[in-house]
Every structure is written in structure tokens, then in C-alpha cells.
Structure 1
């Protein structure tokens, strides 16, 4: 399966169950085991389990294969191995503690996250230019990292900023 199609299916599955702070990273330069790491947050054990289930369903619908799923019994950190992409779904406290973005996040992938449409589903998009490489180019100014962040703030971020 094409990595862009796989990545889009995963992000769609996460958005369908309202995952928070979805990040996609190109890891092909770090390991040969997988090409993408996707990190997202769920607010409860129930939501993290539902997010993992949605990802599995969307990937299978797109023609992909699920290698394994780990952590669903507890639901605080669920890992879904989709072969060329690994999905980490964590509750916010664990995500902050383990800071996976620091390990895998030096090459963010531009993924357009959209609000839920009238048909009930949000969709990830391709890069803006078909000839453009899908990973951000970092010129040292930090612009690539800023560009990869979603424009909207999550409710959890607003609460912590207002506190």
C-alpha cells in the first residue's frame, strides 16, 4: 500500500473519533522498520480504544493490513502497527511524559486536518503541490515545526492556557 494512502487512512480513522493533537512524522531516515510514526491523544481509556478500532477499520477498508495492536486492555497507551506506519494513541499525561515527538519528530509530514463535514467525516489531504516532497524542509529557523502544527487549539490547550 502506498504510504500516502496508508497515512491518509490512519488520520481519517483518528479524526472520525475526534483524536486530539494528531502529528505525523517521517521516520524513513531513522529506521528501516517503518516510514511513519503517527501520534495522537485520546481523553479517556474508552476513547483511546475507540481510536485504535477506528484506525484498524479505516486501514483495512483502504486495503492495508494491521500487523498487531498492543495496550488495548488498559487503554492508556495503545499502539497500532500498520506495517509501514506505527500509530501511538496516548492519554495526554502519558504523551507529555514520554514525549514521543522528541524521539521521532525531527521530520514532520504536512497533513491537512479539516473540520468535520456535513457528511460526518474529516479527511486528510495530500501535500499542497504534487511535485513537492511530503516532508517539511527545516531551514534551521523552526518554521517547519511551526508549519506542522494545526491552526486550531484543542480544548485541553485552551484550558491550560486560561488557568
Structure 2
């Protein structure tokens, strides 16, 4: 896949939004992390919702030609991790997101402005 990281982040964020995910945040951790350049963190209502969002992201990005280094949690759903090389996606239930507080671990990172089309009706 020959898109920019920002295009990939926007595509991921759009899928999350379209599947009714919320509190979507992208962080630039270049130079701060040795395993990824960007984190995208979001929430779903319950574990099944989080897993459903994760599967939708995997399906959409595979159709666009992206490959995944690793996926974790698609069965249990309270915390789903999708590793797309330079982008690591973390999908949580609200309680798990609060518990692990990844944003606080990466307080020195930069917030990435995402372009999400909110005029599209969310699908569920």
C-alpha cells in the first residue's frame, strides 16, 4: 500500500466512526516509541462492539491493500490491538481505556488532526 500515514489514519478513523466508535484520538509517537510511529485510540460501547469495530477495520484495510503485522483481542473485544507497521490501533471498552490510560503514557506525543466525514450516516 502506498498511502501516507495520515491517509491510513484517516481511513481507520472513518471506519471506526462509521461503526459508531467514539473518542477517536491519533497520536504521533515518532521518536518516542521504538515499535510504531502513530497510535490511534478509540472506544466502543461493550466488548462485542469493540471486536466488531476491530474486524471492520481489518476488513476495510485489507480491501485497500494494507497488511497487518499482528492482531490481538478480536475474539474477546475489551481491548483490541491492530498492528499495521507504522500505526498501532488500540480499541477499548470505556473502562479498559480508562484503566490503561495510554494517552497519559504518551503525554509528550503530538495529537494528529484527523479528517472524519461526520456527514455520512454511521452504520452499525
Paired position in structure 2 for 1:16: 18
Judge conservation of contact 1:37–1:104 (CA < 8 Å) in 2.
no
| Correspondent of 2:118 among 115, 120, 123 | 115
Residue 71 in 1 paired to residue 66 in 2? no
* TM-score (structure 2 length as normaliser): 0.86
Q: When the two structures are aligned, how many residues end up with a matched partner?
A: 120
Larger C-alpha radius of gyration, 1 or 2?
A: 1
| Correspondent of 2:46 among 40, 44, 47 | 44
Residue 27 in 1 paired to residue 19 in 2? no
Report the alpha carbon displacement of residue 61 of structure 1 after superposing the two structures with TM: 2.3
Q: Unpaired segments of 5 or more residues in structure 1? A: 123-163
Report the alpha carbon displacement of residue 37 of structure 1 after superposing the two structures with TM: 0.3
Alignment of structure 1 residues 137-148 onto 2, 5 Å:
none
* TM-score (structure 1 length as normaliser): 0.67
Q: Unpaired segments of 5 or more residues in structure 2? A: none
* Aligned-residue RMSD, C-alpha: 1.8
Alignment of structure 1 residues 47-126 onto 2, 5 Å:
47-105=49-107, 106-117=109-120, 120=121
Q: Which has the higher strand share?
A: 2
- After the TM superposition, which parts of structure 1 deviate over 3 Å for at least 4 consecutive aligned residues? none
CA distance in structure 2 between the partners assigned to 1:58 and 1:34 by the alignment: 21
CA distance in structure 1 between the partners assigned to 2:53 and 2:85 by the alignment: 18
